[in-house]
Each structure stands twice: as structure tokens, then as C-alpha cells.
Structure 1
Amino acid sequence: MSHSLLAKWQGIQRVVVVGLGVTGLSVVRYLQKLPCELSIKVIDTRAKPPGVESLDASIEVHTGSWQLDWLLESDLIVTNPGIALATPETQQALANNIPVIGDIELFAWAANAPVVAITGSNGKSTVTDLTGVLAKSAGLTVGVGGNIGVPALELLADDVDLYVLELSSFQLETTSSLKLAAAAYLNLSEDHMDRYQGMEDYAEAKQRIFLHADKAIVNRAEPETFPKNDIPVVSFGFDEQDFGLVWLEAQEYLSKQGQPIVAVEDLKLVGRHNIANSLVALALLDSVDVELASVIPALKTYSGLTHRCQLVVDNDGIKWINDSKATNVASTLAALSGLQLTGCLHLLVGGVGKGADFSELAPVLQSLNVQLHCFGQDGDLFVPLHSSALRWETMEQAIKSFHHKLKAGDLVMLSPACASFDQFKNFMDRGDEFTRLAQHYTKFSS
């Protein structure tokens, strides 16, 4: 344990971990590995919390309710990001001057390599994953996680060159000393209003990412993403400033300060939102002195996170896009925004609509060369949205009907705007089935 980390733990003996699951278990495992004598207790208000069976007998556990005495007797509380700081029991501990932190703060105490982090209402998982992939392609040893994939504490290692973290507003609430080489704030839209008092409260939590950042990466189109503190700012957007777009010989390029980096048409990622995501990843890597030319091959081949506008087949100019993660209207609208179409879009929609109003899709569909394929339990709700709409029982029936007619420039996209549990286990199962069908019928057609 380093001297600086040892100093952080000075005087701390009794630690209470609040909330289990993946994050809570990572906290317990981390605490048990520390070379200092700690009494560790766990509270989870669920009767049978996930992961409780993994705890060893040395750890006292209280489930099914709060155990206020444990909180008030502790030296430190490490709380799960899913538990609001406004919870009365947490507030009582804070009123008694007992520190309440999260796993990201513990990570901040221990991390010895540079850290970049990403927050925002939408797109942060893709940016985090892409940044990690590109950094690895440049030869760095990279730890990627946080709110995506691996918990931050499980990334800690002596041989890591760079950490890339996705951070939610919930995680940022309990983080106060995280030093970042660069912090990206992608966008802000209404979310988690059941947790926050309003948009201002939610935005304030996101702003915490800039507390100890050396540089801010912000969205030129959204002033709300700019830091309130005085740190250097690099912006991204769809004009020629900072990280943006330029036209050269009738081609659009991602650029840095007007200098072209890579042609948009060379990217496998689909949609304007993914162009923005690519710009952010480049800006983050540039902030930690990664040579951008070295990551271009990996950027060209990156096809996205599984089930999120993921290119799964590109055959003879016909692209198949798995966006099964689009379980609501807003997600499907984002997927359709700025599609570069030279042929026909075969759009697969439907499933369990959860009472949603799908009428917002109609004007967007009118602007596209689209053939709408509606399937599943609530497929009927999509039929009135476009004159091309065809009704099918299953996704496979739809694909079977058109796969042999596809031509170069056509795009087949599953972006269902619905939940999946009428016909599938979950959205991943639905996306996997789409990918299987794409590969099968592509092979069948060629």
C-alpha cells in the first residue's frame, strides 16, 4: 500500500458496505485485500440480495431492512450508486459526520495511472468502449469499466497505462477526489427524475466529473456540458472547430482543428450520434498524448457495442445493423438520426410496447426511403406510421420475405422501440437472433 493510500485509511477500522450486487461485491473483495485491519459489515434492504451467498463467514450481513446502529457506529460507509444520498438513513450518518463514499472514490484513492472518464445522458457506454479499444490498439495496457462492464475496483493493477471509466450521475454523487487527465460530458437530457429534484439537480451531479479534471471534453451544441470551474476546454461537434468535421474533395472527414483525420464513409459505425462518439474518443486519447494516426485502423473497423447500432454483417454493400437495445421510442429515433442511406432501409420494429406512443416516429419515417416491418405482440401499433408497413408475426418471417431482394446500398436495421419479452428472453437474446438470421440469410443469398 502506497503512503498516500495508507494516509487515506488512517483512523478507519469499521466499514459498512451498503448494497450488494456486482458493485457491492467488488467493494467487499477490495476491502478484504487491503493490508490493514478492517471490520467489514454489509447492509442490503433486499431480503435476498444478489451475491450474498458469495460473502465469507467473517463478514456480518444484515438483509431485509436498514441497520441504523451499524451505520452510526462506522468510520466509513461505502454505498451502492443505486442508493440515493437523500435516503434518510444515509442523511442521518452524514449528519453524524460519518463519510459516505462510493466505489469510484475508493478507486480514486488507489489509482496510479492516468484516468479519463465519460458521463452524459446518452452514448457514454459506446464512447467508453471505443476509447478503450482505440487505446489498446495504440499499444497501451488499458482498464475499461465503471458503470459499464467491470467494476472500477476490479480494474486496479500495477501494469495499467490508462484507465477509461464510464461514470453515471449516481456514481459522481459520492466521488470527490477523482483526478482525471480528461473528463468528457457528452450531453444532458431528462432522466432519473425519480431520483433528482429536477434537471438542475441532475445536471449538478454530472458537473462533479470536472472537480479535479485537467481538461474538459464538451459538446459545442450543449452549453450545459461546459464546466463551471476554470479548466481547459476542448469541444466536439459537427463544424470545423476543435474536434469536428471538414469536407475535402467531396468527402466528409472527422477532423482536429480543421485537419482531416479519417473519412466518415470509412467508419463501420452507423448514425450521426456515433460520429460524435468517435470525435469524443479521439479527443480523449489526444488529451493523454496518444498519437491519433496510430488508432485510425481500429476506428475504421470498430462496429459498436453489441446490440447498440452494431454492424453485424456487411456483405456486397448491404449492411445489417443490430440495435436491439432500442427498447423505447427515443432510442429508435437516435438510431434513425442522420442515417447515410443510398438504398432502402428495411426497419424491423415491434415487441412489447409498454403503453408507449409511437407517433413520434412517423415524421422521421416519412423522410426516409424505408420499408417498415412490424412484428411481435404490439406490431399493429406501428402499421399506421408509414404507408410501406407490413405486418409479420415474427422477425424471421419479415427477413425471409425480403432478404433475396436486397441490393447494394440497402440497410437492414433491427431497432424495435419495444421490449422483447413477448418472443425473447431479453433484448440480448433478440439481438443475437437477429445476428444469426443476418448471417444465415446473407449466406443463403450469396
Structure 2
Amino acid sequence: MSLITSETYSVIVGLGISGLSCARHLARLQDQGKTGRFVVVDTRENPPLDNQLKESCPGVPLICGELDLELLEGAAEIIVSPGLDTNQSPYSELKKKGVSIVGDIELFARQAKAPVVAITGSNGKSTVTTLVGEMAKTAGLNVKVGGNIGVAALDLLGPIEPDLYVLELSSFQLETTDSLCPAVSTVLNLQADHLDRYGNMVAYHTAKQKIYRNCQQSVWNKQDMLTQPLLGKESKTVAFSTAEPDLKEFGLRQYDDGLWLCKGLTQLIAASDVLIKGRHNLSNALAALALGDAVSIPMDAMLETLKHFKGLSHRCEWVAEIEGVQFINDSKGTNVGATRAAIEGLAGDAPNIVLIAGGVGKGANFSELTAPMTDHCKALVVYGEDRNAIADIASEDMIIKVTESLESAVSEAKALANSGDIVLFSPACASFDMFRNFEHRGEVFSQVVADLERTA
């Protein structure tokens, strides 16, 4: 308590990427005389971003170790990392006492003036966020992209407002956000995820639905009713799906010359001209078109972007072809829904996929993978903490290999695949049993494949 006087102060809890961005933001406001003192606390004795805090916010106190409840209770506001569950102690008790608990997106919303495209969902949100940003750039707009992807939202703020912000938002970030008023919002899809934190789908659904609060327009997935905004009938909304669209909706329509992305009856672009492949990526493209249309990004610029956008690393990313076998890195497939989408998006007429899966399941029900694996996978190779749980839900007719590491899983998959097959690395699990994050996991997969290619 000696670091804080009787004056009003705020506390930032957690010195991660978002916590550091919050500290820099408050330091800027402090220099402008727009906020009071603040302190950063972290339960770790040596937070990895300690030196960066000292460099960018000299003089800001950092308190490490066990949380000081008296310090928290005396704060005018507590700013928490998205990884902290504010429904658990001590934050649940602090909220009951009237202490304001917010996150970085709430601080962003209080300052940002330009229109915001707000994007969430269980799967595809990074791809759609990046794609909308690229569409805006192609149109010549000054756009800033970030949030739960790339640059922290608060680091997007500057002295000159852009034409548009495009933000990926996680359910964790939405929990502590109330002031955001997006120009358009979307929940792309909703699959069981983070049940280790939420306990059930109702709580997860409630957190995701917060993105629609105060939005001027909404975009939702007509094939996933859980994404439908719980708003009044007077709210402006548009749907997308991979089925045939109704008037003003975005969808797919079959013509004599092939499949087309359409708005109502208007043909926009042939599916064959969209560079990112797989039916799930056509859904992502339709969502991006609907979002961009809502904020008046010119259609020509959006369609041109779809012809050249290669997608993101670790999201159904082509890695190599070895002896006629395609190796695909979908390390971002951290939940069952993402892996199901990848399987169905890449499937051929006959089972042609050797699936590599495994890691930390986060309490997921893997049985939702049984049908798509039975229909489209010739073999399953599992590794990691929950490898047996995934193997247990596979069809008895499927070839199943249980391995101890990702490296051995890739070798097994290569041995099982024939020319014309696909080795799909889509774990359906989190990475933190063996890797720093999904990016590190995907890099290891790609390196193992590269080593196999050199020796083939």
C-alpha cells in the first residue's frame, strides 16, 4: 500500500501483452492530464515483460507476487488481463463491492472515434478479421487491424484516427467490455470451446453475444442459430451462409458455369476465383463481404482482394507435397469445431485425409468428430495429453495410431498416406502441453515436414 497514496488510482492486473498495452495507454493519458496514478500487479515474481514496462512507462510501480486485496479494494478501477476469470475470486467479490473491473477493449472503446468492425466466433475470426482489413486497404482506406490478433487494440490508437478499425475479439475480452459501439458486429459461428472456463455452452454463448450490444448493424451465420443476434426486430441485420441466399443475404449459388458467391441474386465472384480454399473458407469470404458491405467498402475492392488473399499461417496452410501427398498445417485448429470445418472443407469424394490431432482438449466433447472422420478420413494419428480421448471416438474401421510426439505423428501419417491423399494437421486441442502456443506448434509441424521432404 505504500506505493499508493489516498488519491484515486487504477490497478492493472497481469503484465502480459494486453497488460503492457494498458500501461502504455494509461501512461499516455497521464501525460495529457486525463487520468490519475496507476500501478501494475502480477502474481509472477518475474513477469517476462518487466523490462519493457520499465522502458515504456518509467516510474510506474510494478508489484509482483501474491495479490494485495486491500490495494485492489481501494482502486477506482481494475483492468484485468483477458486470461483472468472475473467470475472467480477475488474479482467476483470485488464486483459485489462495486469495484469497476474492465479490460483493454473497454479502454479502447472509450477513446476510439472511427467506425469499428467487431468480429468474434469460435473459428475463422482471425482469417475474417485480416481479410476485412485487406479489403479496406485495397479500397485505399486507412485501416487499423488488431485486438485479439496481431497488435493490441490500445496500441492502434494514435493522434490521427483511421478511417476504420477492424478488431478480432475473444469471449474473454468481451466479458469486460460495455462501452464498445461497433459499426457492425458478427459472431461467425459457435462451437464448444473454453468449457474449462465457462462450464457450459450457455455461459460461452452469453459472452459471445456481448459483441452485438450497442452495434449499429449485425452480421450472423444463418447456418448457426446460436450466432443470431438477440436484438429487437428493428435492428439492422444481414445473414450469410454457404447455402443459397435470400434477397440481401450473402451465400453460394450454383450456376451452369460453377459455384458463385452471391448477394441475393447478384453474382459476385466465382468460387474458383477465391484463392483461399475449402468450403469453410468460402464461408469466411462471405462473412467478410457482408461485414465490408455494411461499412461501405467498395465491392470491387473486396472481390479483388479475394482473388489474391492467401490466408493466414497455421490456418489450413499448404506446407508441401511429398510423393503426391499434400501436407496441410491447421495448427490454429484448437477446438473440435475448427478441426471439423477443416476436414469437411478439404474432403474429397472418397476418404483421403490422414488426420493428426491431439494436445489439451480443454474439456471438449470429441465425439463431434466421429462422423466427419468416418466420412472423410482414412486414418487418424494422435499425440499429446488427450490423444487417447480422441482415439476412443474414432470408428473401429479406421486405422488409428497413438504416438508420443508430434514428430513421430508426422512420420506415422506419411507412412499411412498414398499419392492423392492429404495429411491434415488439425489438433482440435490447445497446444500448451508441449508447445508455447499454436504458432510454435505449427512451426514444428512445418519443420518436420520440411525435413521429410529433403530426405524423400
TM-score, length basis structure 1: 0.82
Q: Would you say 1:25 and 2:20 are equivalent positions?
A: yes
Q: Which amino acid aligns with 1:49?
A: P
8 A contact 2:379–2:416 mirrored in 1 = no
Report the Cα offset of residue 232 of structure 1: 0.5
Is this contact kept in 2: 1:349–1:417, CA < 8 A? no
Q: Does residue 300 of the first structure (1) align with residue 303 of the second (2)?
A: no
Q: Post-superposition shift, 1:266? A: 2.7
Percent of matched pairs sharing the same residue? 40
Counterpart amino acid of residue 258 in structure 2: Q
Cα RMSD after superposing both structures: 3.7
Q: Distance in 2 between matches of 1:420 and 1:80?
A: 20
Of the structure 1 ranges 152-161 and 18-27, higher mean CA displacement relative to structure 2 is found in 152-161
8 Å CA contact 1:239–1:245 kept in 2: the answer is yes
Shift of 1:25: 0.7
Q: Deviations over 1:336-366 (max 9, x none)?
A: 1243526873424256687999776554344
Q: Give the equivalent residue in structure 2 for 1:235.
A: 239
Choose which of 285, 288, 298 in structure 2 pairs with 1:281: 288
- Using the alignment, how far apart are the partners of 1:97 and 1:418 within structure 2? 37
Matches within 5 A, 1:57-206: 58-157=59-158, 158-196=160-198, 198-206=200-208
Q: Deviations over 1:411-437 (max 9, x none)?
A: 443335567789977653453355456
Contact 1:269–1:310 under 8 Å retained in 2: no
Q: Which residue of 2 aligns with 1:42?
A: 40
Q: C-alpha separation between the residues in 2 aligned to 1:178 and 1:272?
A: 32
Q: Which amino acid in the other structure matches residue 307 of structure 2? A: K
Q: Residues of 2 paired with 1:363 and 1:239: CA distance? A: 24
- 1:284/1:319 Cα in 2 relative to 1: closer, same or farther (>3 Å)? farther
Distance 1:320 1:262, change over 3 A: farther
| Structure 1 contact 79–102 (Cα < 8 Å) conserved | yes
Q: How far apart in 2 are the matches of 1:198 and 1:420?
A: 22
Query: Which segment is superposed worse, 65-74 or 356-365?
Result: 356-365
Deviation per residue, 1:1-37 (Å, 9 max, x gap)? xxxxxxxxxxx95221122211111100111112116
**1:373–1:398: 8 Å Cα contact kept in structure 2?**
no
Secondary structure of the 2:87 match is coil
The residue that corresponds to 1:3 in the other structure is none
Displacement after TM superposition at 1:95 (Å): 4.1
Contact between 2:351 and 2:375, CA under 8 Å: does it hold in 1? no
**Gapped regions of structure 2 (runs ≥ 5):** 1-6
Query: 1:82, CA displacement in angstroms?
Result: 2.0
Offset, 1:111: 1.0
Check conservation: 1:116, 1:180, Cα contact below 8 A. yes
Q: Go from structure 1 to structure 2 and tell me whether the alpha carbon gap of 1:297 and 1:14 turns closer, same or farther (over 3 Å shift).
A: same
In 1, the alpha carbon distance for the partners of 2:338 and 2:350 equals 23
Matched letter for residue 65 of structure 2:
G
String of CA shifts for 1:37-59, please: whole Å, max 9, x gaps: 62111222333333234333522
Kept in 1: contact 2:108–2:153 (CA 8 A)? yes
2:333–2:428 Cα contact (<8 Å) kept? yes
1:367 aligned residue: 375
TM-score of the two chains, using structure 2 as the length reference: 0.80
Matched, 1:224 2:235: no
How far is 1:282 from its partner? 0.8
Q: Any conservation in 2 of the 1:376–1:423 contact (CA below 8 Å)?
A: no
Q: Is the 8 A contact 2:193 2:364 kept in 1?
A: no
Instruction: Give the aligned length.
Output: 430
Q: CA deviation at 1:203?
A: 2.3
How far 1:171 sits from its partner (Å)?
A: 1.4
Equivalences for residues 312-327 of structure 1 within 5 A:
312=319, 320-326=327-333
Name the CA shift for 1:434/1:342 in 2 (closer, same or farther; >3 Å): farther
- Range with bigger deviation, 261-270 or 232-241: 261-270
Q: Which moved more, 1:115-124 or 1:300-309?
A: 300-309
Any stretches of 5+ residues in structure 1 without a counterpart?
1-11
Correspondence 1:415 to 2:426: yes
CA distance in 1, matches of 2:19, 2:302: 35
